[in-house]
Chain A
Amino acid sequence: MTNPSTVGASWLRPPRAFRRLTPLKLFWLCVHYAALLLASLLVISPLAIAFITSFKQPIEMLRGEKTDLPADWANLANYTDFLTEQPIGLAFYNTLFVLLFALAISVLVGTMAAWVIDRFRFRGRATILTLYVLVMAVPMITTQVSTYEVVQFLGLVGSKWSLILLYGGADVVSLYVFIQFCQSIDREIDESARIEGASYWQIYWKVILPLLVPAISTVAILRTIHIYNDFVLPYLYTPRVEQSTVSILLYRSSDMMSANSEAVLMAGIMIVIAPSIIAFLLLQRQIVSGVMRGAVKG
């Protein structure tokens, strides 16, 4: 794939790694595959055991080994139990609500600021850039004791709006991705639009924003992964399930449930991670390239 010489009719030939095999190379190839298989086994097995546990009946939980396959794969009692006992619909609604508003803030605020900072030279620009660099250097989690007081002052502790503002507003890495991307957009595009009589707002909205779509999708992917999976902020700011995300729902239910409802809890976990796994498999290309781009640039 990366080697041009393998393109074309040569697909019949064995892959590059298999060509001109000497015994020594074969040995190393086996070592590499063994390492990859072992690592994959270690990655998959906790998930696989959680998955099979979610189908087990109470009697199997007591007697059998964890690795035993469930007696009845069609046993969905644990799933229905979790769905009826826990307000999972509400938790998904809250998570989606937080996610969409936070992403909207991240993208709008981030692209506007990035475009202005990259394109205009104005008084205070250097100061603003310095402030952003300073903020980048101080990890967000270290200042939560103090941020909590700000959120409390705004009257937002316990409300999902605290999460929206913190995820969307205190997101400096995205701004960096946008600035980097703005720099790669030719300035002449702005200028020719300007000559044609477009206002600055029109340039931003109709010219720059569409060109930033790759950066926006990178940011959206990275932020979605983070927001959907984060525990710290919901734990601090929205400890009650009514206003909180799926993370808190799982945290609360793992606290509440007794040991013999472990299978029910595993069913709940499967319900929460299923959307991530499905999205990951459907969007793997975009997610992989988004993470590589965002991480290298940010």
Chain B
Amino acid sequence: MTSTSMNVAPGAKAPGRFASAAGQRRLVIAGFLVVPLVLLTLFSLYPFVQLIWFSLIEWDGMSPERTFVGLDNYRRLLGEDIGLLKPMVNSLYYFAGSVLQLALATYFAVILSRGLPGSNVFRLILFLPFVLNSVAVSIIFRDFLQIDGGLDAMLFTLGLGEWRQEWVQDPELVKWSLVFASVWRYLGFQLLITYGALQSVPQDQYEAARIEGASEWQQFRHITFPSIRMILGLQLILATVGSLEVFDVPFLITGGANDTKTFIMAVIEEAFEFRRVGMASAMSVVLVVVVMVAVTLQRLAMTGGKGRS
């Protein structure tokens, strides 16, 4: 294929300005990188730098009047406006949920990779929520969890009428309901990643372990777990970052009512509703710092624990 399409006679092209190899090389490097770098600068690098600048000013986002206030936004955020940071506490629920989700995903991945009959069907069913539109899913859950909604009706039909709850009205329960919606959505995704990692564990190790009479738990503990430790660690890091960035599902289900506001919701509200761009930017910077610290700590814990990076 290459030989036919590539048969360009060396002298066939007119010797232009960039005919020399070095010139052509320079042209292709510059030409291929200019668009990616412009996009990177415009939508990632510059916004990040500008965010830090915004966090030092007071601005309503529209008027030409921007007042430089130095670290005042941060001082207020840690002082009288500490309440603005409070939604970050809600991330702990999502973090707890994502640890549970990782454990469940690993459990399901391990038992599905043993080739139980029907495992393909189960894998598909559990993964399905990940490919669905988040607004659609959230509205479905909003209906499912309301009083006398789908969940209550199901419990009643199954003879578990006693278990019916105010899933989104109860101030404590609502947080776990939202965590459930989030686990529902992402469990299958994590399952697939772990399942993929399990495929690379050599089967003969299990064979040998079985001959020596190792129990299933021992096989998991000594063969499976060490081989997927890295992937699980990475997933834990992603889960941590994810639990600090939750937005759409709680926003669409409760709108932040009943103390379910997440930090991203608070930032967006501060910037686009209350039009305090400076404060919203300071909050964003705090979030970036928290994310970085959490990721670094977990990286250290992973590499420091034992084994290689």
| A67 contacts partner chain B, Cβ-Cβ < 8 Å | yes
By secondary structure, the A interface counts as helix
| A254 contacts partner chain B, Cβ-Cβ < 8 Å | yes
**Contact (Cβ within 8 A) A141 B39:** no
| B77 contacts partner chain A, Cβ-Cβ < 8 Å | no
**CA–CA, A132 to B46, complex, Å?**
13
Contacts of A65 in B (CB 8 A): 153, 156-157
**Contact (Cβ within 8 A) B193 A291:** yes
**Contact (Cβ within 8 A) A196 B3:** yes
Contacts of B111 in A (CB 8 A): 32, 35-36
Q: Which of A42, A132, A230, A287 contacts B184 (CB 8 A)?
A: A42
**Contact (Cβ within 8 A) A207 B8:** no
Count of chain B residues near A, Cβ 8 A: 105
Type the 1/0 row for A10-33, where 1 means its CB is closer than 8 Å to any CB of B.
000001111000000000110011
| A96 contacts partner chain B, Cβ-Cβ < 8 Å | no
Type the 1/0 row for B252-284, where 1 means its CB is closer than 8 Å to any CB of A.
100000000000100110011000010011001
When C-beta atoms are compared, the residue in chain B nearest to A137 turns out to be: B292
**Contact (Cβ within 8 A) B114 A17:** yes
| A213 contacts partner chain B, Cβ-Cβ < 8 Å | no
**CA–CA, A26 to B156, complex, Å?**
31
**Contact (Cβ within 8 A) B50 A146:** yes
**Contact (Cβ within 8 A) A67 B157:** yes
| B20 contacts partner chain A, Cβ-Cβ < 8 Å | no
Contacts of A266 in B (CB 8 A): 140, 143
Contacts of A146 in B (CB 8 A): 47-48, 50-51, 54, 281, 284
**Contact (Cβ within 8 A) B122 A40:** yes
Q: Chain B's nearest CB lies how many Å from the CB of A143?
A: 5
Q: Chain B's nearest CB lies how many Å from the CB of A82?
A: 13
Given A36-B122, A43-B125, A170:B245 Cβ within 8 A: no
Contacts of B46 in A (CB 8 A): 150
Q: Chain A's nearest CB lies how many Å from the CB of B66?
A: 11
Contacts of B148 in A (CB 8 A): 66
Given A143-B48, A146-B54, A200:B28 Cβ within 8 A: yes
**Contact (Cβ within 8 A) A292 B193:** yes
**CA–CA, A36 to B127, complex, Å?**
13
Considering the complex, which residues of chain B in the window 117-136 have a beta carbon less than 8 Å from any beta carbon of chain A?
Answer: 117, 122-136
Q: Which of A132, A206, A225, A247 contacts B130 (CB 8 A)?
A: A225
Q: Chain B's nearest CB lies how many Å from the CB of A118?
A: 11
**CA–CA, A255 to B128, complex, Å?**
26
Q: Chain A's nearest CB lies how many Å from the CB of B265?
A: 11
| B302 contacts partner chain A, Cβ-Cβ < 8 Å | no
Q: Chain A's nearest CB lies how many Å from the CB of B293?
A: 12
| A189 contacts partner chain B, Cβ-Cβ < 8 Å | yes
Q: Which of A44, A207, A276 contacts B2 (CB 8 A)?
A: A207
**Contact (Cβ within 8 A) B295 A273:** no
When C-beta atoms are compared, the residue in chain A nearest to B189 turns out to be: A291
| B309 contacts partner chain A, Cβ-Cβ < 8 Å | no
**Contact (Cβ within 8 A) A116 B192:** no
**Contact (Cβ within 8 A) B153 A284:** no
Q: Chain A's nearest CB lies how many Å from the CB of B175?
A: 18
| A104 contacts partner chain B, Cβ-Cβ < 8 Å | no
Contacts of A2 in B (CB 8 A): 113, 115, 199, 203
| A180 contacts partner chain B, Cβ-Cβ < 8 Å | no
Contacts of B272 in A (CB 8 A): 148, 236
In this complex, the member of B104, B133, B150 whose beta carbon has the largest number of chain A beta carbons within 10 angstroms is B133
For the A-B complex with A120-B29, A225-B130, A272-B133 known, give 16 more contacts whose Cβ atoms are closer than 8 Å. Answer: A65-B156, A112-B32, A120-B28, A142-B284, A142-B287, A142-B291, A150-B42, A170-B39, A170-B40, A200-B28, A202-B5, A231-B248, A277-B128, A291-B130, A292-B193, A295-B193
